[in-house]
């Protein structure tokens, strides 16, 4: 790929807003790095530009590969769901009905049954699961689809964070036993660690959501929450133990080895690539712009030919591309300094500077995006050097994000302390009387007073309460985390 002959005119090159002003920084980097265009005339619907799509395609590739490695198979289901499907699971339709987009007409003719644009696919997929699952030999059934979903979110929309159309993966699994279903929930959270954290560099805490905040129709909901630079929590992949609720509603039954008919057990898992992308942008970016982990960068290397070395630059590009590296050559008429700033802002992990002296001496200058460190390498070792520096960059930015995230957890033993901690942002560890229905009133008081949510209790570590509920003063039953959220 080659950069076009774009003149360095018009908008100021590079970022003008520091990252500490996160909201303005986020808006500016989306525009200047050409991630999306916000001018589409339908609120909450985003025009995605190549630089974000190239990254998200790599994110999908890694996540889909992990799902398939764990025996999930891909499917494509219709984007529309008949209203009668929704009505089969009362709690589910009640939870999603306020957000549904309805298709009511085909041309000028009114449909005999309304069709919903899918907000999630349980009621579409499980209608078919009841036809596919007949015997214990059909189980486990583990399917996923990468798709868009539509929800008429009434809250303020924010590109890649909150919208009315977003891109994700949803996996829907069926098992013969409750134990298998519970093991799948654990496996889902393992996938979140393996891909979102270790590959994308997004740290998180795994919570069991309170009873009042679980997925409509689920027995339990488990969610991975990360933290954005402004101190607000952002939910990432959630996994739901559905039990037998949907299986009973959709008649997903099977004959077991003893020839007795039994109701299946189910789970579902929703890695939202769209939201993960927002966290990659927000957590790794700096005052200069984007910083991408090497594996998911839209372009992994930018070659800057200087002083008539275009032929050698394109030769190097071909060599690296044949090895599977995504490379762009910037042979535009812009100055080298402009090009350096441009590709730094767009987060390319490795920049290669190639001038007449380098060509003559058989070497290259490699520059890492995260540190700005320059390294002189032998031309023959170009591929090895790019892979080494790219891997080290990824390790470095993940470590940096992890250290920052650890520092965003504080403790509060009173409502006053809770309020003070929430002013600084981050997760606040405190104690609550219950995460069951009995604790909802206390959670509502926290929400009303501080505009913050009880995220739930951790599932990765066991934490036992030692005091009283931070709200009502009764003996605490759970250690919970509170945060403001998107």
The answer regarding whether domain 301-389 maps to CATH 3.40.50.800 reads yes
CATH class of residue range 409-483:
alpha beta
Q: Enter the pTM of the model.
A: 0.94
CA angle 422, 425, 429 (to 5 degrees): 60
3-state secondary structure the chain: CEECCCCCCCCCCCCCCCCCCHHHHHHHHHHHCCCEECCCCCCCCCEECHHHHHHHHHHHHHHHHHHHHCCCEECCCCCEEEHHHHCCCHHHHHHHHHHCEEEEEECCEEEEEEEEECCCCHHHHHHHHHHHCCEHHHCCEEEEEEEEEECCCCCCCECCCECCEEEEEEEEEEECCHHHHHHHHHHHHHHHHHHHHCCCCCCCEEEECCHHHCCCCCCEEEEEEEECCCCCEEEEEEEEEEECHHHHHHCCEEECCCCCEEECEEEEEECCHHHHHHHHHHHHCECCECCCCHHHCCCCEEEEECCCCHHHHHHHHHHHHHCCCCEEEECCCCCHHHHHHHHHHCCCCEEEEECHHHHHHCEEEEEECCCCCEEEEEHHHHHHHHHHHHHHHHHHHHHHHHHHHHCCEEECCCHHHHHHHHHCCCEEEEEECCCCHHHHHHHHHHHHHHCCEEEEEECCCCCCCCCECCCCCCECCEEEEEECEC
Q: What is the pLDDT along the chain (486 residues), one digit of tens a residue?
A: 766 544 444 344 689 999 999 999 999 999 999 999 999 999 889 999 999 999 999 999 999 999 999 999 999 999 999 999 988 877 777 778 889 999 999 999 999 999 999 999 999 999 999 999 999 999 999 999 999 999 998 777 799 999 999 999 999 999 999 999 999 999 999 999 999 999 999 999 999 999 999 999 999 999 999 999 999 999 999 999 999 999 999 999 999 999 999 999 999 999 999 999 999 999 999 999 999 999 999 999 999 999 999 999 999 999 999 999 999 999 999 999 999 999 999 999 999 999 999 999 999 999 999 999 999 999 999 999 999 999 999 999 999 999 999 999 999 999 999 999 999 999 999 999 999 988 999 999 999 999 999 999 999 999 999 999 999 999 999 999 999 999
Query: In the CATH scheme, what architecture does the domain 35-284 have?
Result: 2-Layer Sandwich (3.30)
Give the residue extent of every domain in the chain. Answer: 35-284, 301-389, 409-483
């Amino acid at each position: 790929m080659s950069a076009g002959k774009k003149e360095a005119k018009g908008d100021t090159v590079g970022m003008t807003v520091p990252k500490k002003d996160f909201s303005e920084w986020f808006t500016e980097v989306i525009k200047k790095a050409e991630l999306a265009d916000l001018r589409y005339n339908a609120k909450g619907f985003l025009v995605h530009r190549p630089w974000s799509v190239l990254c998200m395609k790599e994110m999908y590739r890694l996540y889909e590969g992990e799902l398939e490695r764990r025996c999930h198979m891909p499917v494509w289901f219709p984007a529309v769901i008949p209203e009668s499907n929704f009505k089969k699971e009362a709690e589910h339709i009640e939870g999603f009905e306020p957000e549904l987009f309805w298709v009511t007409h085909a041309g000028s003719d009114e449909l005999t049954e309304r069709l919903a644009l899918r907000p999630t696919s349980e009621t579409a997929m499980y209608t078919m699961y009841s036809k596919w699952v007949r015997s214990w030999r059909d189980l486990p059934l583990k399917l996923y689809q990468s798709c868009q979903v539509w929800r008429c979110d009434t809250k303020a929309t924010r590109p890649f964070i909150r919208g009315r159309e977003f891109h994700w993966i949803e996996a829907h699994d069926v098992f013969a036993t409750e134990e298998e279903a519970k093991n799948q929930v654990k496996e889902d959270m393992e996938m979140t660690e393996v891909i979102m954290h270790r590959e994308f560099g997004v740290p998180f805490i795994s919570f069991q959501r309170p009873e009042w905040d679980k997925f409509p129709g689920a027995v339990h909901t488990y969610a991975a929450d990360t933290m954005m630079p402004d101190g607000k929590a952002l939910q990432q992949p959630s996994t739901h133990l559905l039990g037998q609720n949907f299986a009973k509603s959709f008649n997903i039954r099977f004959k077991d080895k003893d020839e007795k008919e039994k109701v299946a057990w189910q789970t579902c898992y929703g890695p939202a690539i769209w939201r993960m992308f927002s966290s990659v942008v927000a957590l790794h970016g700096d005052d200069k712009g984007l910083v991408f982990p090497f594996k998911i960068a839209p372009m992994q290397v930018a070659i800057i030919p200087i002083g008539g070395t275009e032929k050698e630059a394109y030769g190097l590009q071909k060599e690296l591309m044949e090895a599977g590296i995504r490379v762009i050559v910037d042979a535009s008429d812009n100055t080298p300094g402009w090009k350096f700033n441009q590709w730094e802002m767009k987060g390319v992990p490795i920049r290669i500077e190639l001038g007449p002296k380098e060509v003559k001496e058989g070497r290259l200058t490699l520059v890492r995006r995260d540190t700005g460190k320059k390294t002189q390498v032998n031309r023959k070792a170009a591929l090895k050097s790019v892979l080494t520096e790219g891997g080290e960059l990824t390790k470095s930015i993940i470590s940096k994000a992890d250290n920052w995230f650890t520092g965003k957890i504080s403790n509060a033993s009173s409502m006053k302390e809770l309020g003070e901690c929430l002013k600084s942002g981050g997760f606040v560890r405190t104690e609550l009387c219950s995460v069951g229905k009995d604790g909802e009133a206390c959670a509502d008081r926290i929400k009303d007073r501080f505009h913050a949510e009880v995220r739930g209790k951790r599932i990765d570590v066991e934490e036992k309460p030692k005091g009283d509920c931070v709200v009502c003063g009764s003996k605490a039953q759970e250690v919970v985390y509170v945060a403001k959220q998107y």
